[in-house]
Each structure stands twice: as C-alpha cells, then as structure tokens.
Amino acid sequence: MAPYEALYGKKYQSLICWVEVGDRPLLRPELVQETTKKVKLIQQHLRTAQSRQKSYVDVRRRDREYEIDDHLFIKVTPMKGQTRFKVKDKLAPRYVGPYEMLEKINLVTYRVALPPMMEHIHNIFHVSMLRDYLRDPLHVIEPTYVLLKDDYTYEERPIQIVNYRIKRSRNKEIPSVKVD
C-alpha cells in the first residue's frame, strides 16, 4: 500500500489527466493537447503573479554597498517578539552601533567588528540587517558598561538630578525627580 493511499484512503490521482471528473478515456491526442494547454495557462498565471510581486518589491528595494572601514548600525529586532543583543522590549532600540565594517564577503554579506561583550554573536550580517552611519567627528559615542552581579542583577545609581517637581492632587503631594 502506498503512503498516500494509507493516509487518505484512496489512490493517488496523477496530474497528467486534468479533465472533469467522470469517465476518463485512455490517453489520446486531444487529452494530451488539453493537458499541455492547461499547463501553459498555469505557467502564464505564475509568471504574471511573480511579475506583480516583483514590481511591489522593487519599489522599496535599493541596492546598498559598503566599503571597508565604513561604520554601520546593526538591526536589533528583525521580528516582533524576538530577542537579539539581549534586548526585548517595547522601547528597545531598533539599531545598535555604530560598528566598523571589516570585510566584504560577497554582494550581500559583510563582516562587522563587534565589541568583546558581544562575542557570542556571529559577526557576519546580511545587508538587510545593516544601516548607514554618516560619520561626524563631533559625534562620539561612548559605550556604557554595567557591572552585573552573580545573579544577573545590577544596582542603579542616579548620576545627576535634572529636574524636580511636586504634583499636587486634592489631598496629596507627589514628588517626582528626573535623573540623568
């Protein structure tokens, strides 16, 4: 017994004969011609659908190419609910970086220099995961390092009080402090 027959309880009907259900004559030239016409019609519809989808994609697509020593941002969360770079939250950044591009592997893949704290992440990225960074000598980004305890907790300490206000309701006063 064939697997299809065991699963569905009937014999497999070949796609060679695409005529109406009923009494089917044996193969004859008219049946072969009708089948080839239907195959060509299906191929035509597939080409039309592919062309339409390609036109939708080409509107947003732009070819990007980077040179060695360019600086790039890396996309953090390509899909909703997925954790990348230890960040999963509503207010998580979309891109991290900038990081230096080390090597062009082919037209769509690049090797990026990642810091030692991200050594567990593979350093080769597809071009869709990268964004341009226009280097500005006045724009210096210093990475902040957080010291974690053994149980992966850390202590937050305010650096500077920026603003202080008291919100008054009918019978309460609620102080609020903005720290940097």
In a domain, 88, yes or no: yes
* Whole-number pLDDT of residue 78: 55
Question: Measuring CA to CA, how many Å separate 32 from each of 22, 23, 36, 41, 68?
Answer: 17, 16, 6, 14, 58
Same-domain pairing of 43 and 86: no
In a domain, 154, yes or no: no
Same-domain pairing of 34 and 76: no
Residue 112's Cα: distance from chain center in Å?
18
* Whole-number pLDDT of residue 14: 64
Number of domains the chain is built from:
2
Which of these three, 60, 83, 98, is where a domain ends? 60
pTM above 0.75, yes or no: no
* Whole-number pLDDT of residue 89: 61
Q: Phi and psi of 165, rounded to 5°?
A: -150, 160
Same-domain pairing of 81 and 115: yes
Tell me if 139 sits within 8 A of 159, measured CB to CB. no
Q: Identify the domain containing residue 36 by its residue range.
A: 3-60
Of 180, 125, 120, 124, the C-alpha closest to 156 is 180
Which of these three, 11, 27, 60, is where a domain ends? 60
Cis peptide leading into residue 98 (ω within 30°): yes
Same-domain pairing of 56 and 15: yes
Amino acid identity for residue 147 in this structure: L
CA diameter of the chain: 94
How confident is the prediction along the chain (180 residues), in pLDDT tens digits per residue?
Answer: 667 777 777 777 666 555 555 555 556 777 778 878 888 888 999 999 999 998 888 887 777 888 888 888 888 765 555 555 555 666 667 788 788 889 899 888 999 998 887 777 888 888 888 888 877 777 776 766 777 778 777 777 777 888 889 999 888 999 888 877
Alpha-helical (H) ranges within the chain are 3-8, 29-60
State how far the Cα of 84 lies from the Cα of 88, in Å rounded to an integer: 7
State how far the Cα of 168 lies from the Cα of 174, in Å rounded to an integer: 6
In a domain, 36, yes or no: yes
